[in-house]
Amino acid sequence: MKKSYYLNMGPQHPAMHGVIRLILELEGERIQGCEVEFGYMHRAFEKHAESETWNNVIPWTDRLNYVSPLINNVGYCMAVEKLCGLSVPERGQYIRVIASEVSRLTDHLTCIGASAMELGAFTVFLYMIKAREFLYQCVDKLTGARITTSFTRVGGVKADLPEGFEEQLLSAFAEVRRVLREVDGLLTKNRIFYDRVNGTGRIGREEAIAYGITGPFLRSTGVPYDVRRASPYLVYDRLSFEVPVGGNGDNLDRYLVRMAEMEQSMRIVEQCFRQIPPGAHSLEDRELIEAGVMFDEGKAGKTGQLWKAEAAVDATLEGTGQRCAPHIQGPQRQYALPPKEETYGSIEGLMRHFEIIMWGRGVRPPAGECYQAVEGANGELGFHIYSDGTDRPYRVRCRPPCFFPMAALGKILVGENVADIIPTFGSVNMIAGEFER
């Protein structure tokens, strides 16, 4: 009679990057059962978000998926803007698309590099990280940081594309393409790699849908679901790109899908550079004039500057009197920060800056809730936010895309060998930051 035994894999195992513990029930090398235990990286993102102002949550979102932070920034800001009913100027939308696609590239490069390294292909890891470095330099130039980008703002992005950014990014793409060709030659037809990934970690199409799996993991089973294509956001409906799909839903397909997606991402960015219009990258901030003053000036015929300004609501609702009537929320139509030149150059600009930055003021979306999904590097990244009309989010829920394949992981692994855990876990691309939030 065969006897099964238990083995703990992780949390401190070199292949369990992120910190994850798999409790395996084994019979020889064969996995009979697998339970996933996690939570070692739980940092209470959702609780923290409730204590910060709307704009202050943006740096927290960097730390969700820290391999593609820009997509998180974009997703969160789009959710807030949806609640406020804002639409970002076109140039800002293009910049967001470029930022998202560069992030998708870095994410896929890391995922393939790391999972190939765990299968012994250390060269691939070095090549991929080299290619990622070129992209990180571009991200650095764009946002001022390599990983903790905090690039978007409610109503737009932090800054316009810097000078020389297009040339630098396109030459980085040339490097990435060269690396991808090299890696393709090193891995795709490599006997050792092929045998490790082909037919392992297989999941069926219906099962993947029942588990709520999205992104490259779902596309490897042959379902061409991509949020960018199924419900286009930003300007994705104006860009032509293809959605690569697999057929078997195994690790090989997931590797191939990710490789093909990188080429598509570069195509999207190149189209963006051709289409991007000049103009503002963020919503213009509008001067606030007290309603009474506005009324008097209008009556006196001084209407020249009034059309550009917003009327500030009555002090009894918004100012000191608000404490007496907390249930009444004055309309707040000012969301965007003034340009830095005005903030530092004029007293009015500084006041408008403080109107956004100070606690108790700032961005105040109308009460309500909304859900906004974007295509993250691992699948559908959703933000479900509740506003109670104050300057802080009432609740922020992040739908982490890699939570869902991880829920299926225990089932996928049953019947496979211990050695198959490594490529399967690698292809899930579990990012502890968003998985455990």
Residues in contact with other proteins by CB under 8 A are 38-39, 42, 44, 46-48, 50-51, 205-206, 209-212, 222-226, 229-231, 243, 245, 326-328, 367-371, 373, 380, 382, 384, 386, 388-389, 394-395, 397, 399, 403-404, 407-408, 411, 436-437
Question: How many helices and strands (H and E) does the chain possess?
Answer: 18, 10
**Quick one: 227 or 421, whose CB is closer to other proteins?**
227
**Quick one: 115 or 387, whose CB is closer to other proteins?**
387
**Quick one: 87 or 171, whose CB is closer to other proteins?**
87
CB of 274 to other proteins, least distance (A): 27
Other beta carbons within 10 angstroms of residue 167's beta carbon come to 10
- Asked if 147 contacts 66 with a C-beta cutoff of 8 angstroms, the reply is yes
| Packing angle of the helix pair 403-413, 421-428 (nearest 10 deg) | 160
- Asked if 244 contacts 265 with a C-beta cutoff of 8 angstroms, the reply is no
The residue count of the chain comes to 437
**Quick one: 184 or 206, whose CB is closer to other proteins?**
206
Beta strand extents in 162-223 (DSSP E only) = none
CB of 88 to other proteins, least distance (A): 19
**Quick one: 269 or 373, whose CB is closer to other proteins?**
373
CB of 315 to other proteins, least distance (A): 20
| Packing angle of the helix pair 421-428, 251-275 (nearest 10 deg) | 20
CB of 214 to other proteins, least distance (A): 8
**Residue 212 to residue 140: CA distance in whole angstroms:** 34
| Packing angle of the helix pair 165-187, 122-143 (nearest 10 deg) | 170
**Quick one: 47 or 178, whose CB is closer to other proteins?**
47
CB of 219 to other proteins, least distance (A): 8
**Quick one: 351 or 367, whose CB is closer to other proteins?**
367
CB of 44 to other proteins, least distance (A): 7
**Quick one: 261 or 380, whose CB is closer to other proteins?**
380
CB of 230 to other proteins, least distance (A): 5
277 SS3 class: coil
CB of 421 to other proteins, least distance (A): 19
**Quick one: 118 or 391, whose CB is closer to other proteins?**
391
The CA dihedral of 227, 233, 235, 240, to the nearest 10 degrees, is 20
CB of 385 to other proteins, least distance (A): 10
- Asked if 192 contacts 168 with a C-beta cutoff of 8 angstroms, the reply is no
DSSP sequence for 316-338 = HHHSGGGGG-TT--------SPP
The structure tokens 């959703």 sit at 382
**Residue 235 to residue 258: CA distance in whole angstroms:** 22
What are the tokens at 109? 């490069």
376 SS3 class: strand
Peptide bond into 339 cis (omega under 30): no
**Quick one: 38 or 76, whose CB is closer to other proteins?**
38
CB of 128 to other proteins, least distance (A): 28
**Quick one: 174 or 230, whose CB is closer to other proteins?**
230
364: closest CA among 337, 395, 330, 410?
330
CB of 101 to other proteins, least distance (A): 19
Other beta carbons within 10 angstroms of residue 323's beta carbon come to 7
| Packing angle of the helix pair 122-143, 90-118 (nearest 10 deg) | 160
**Residue 70 to residue 302: CA distance in whole angstroms:** 44
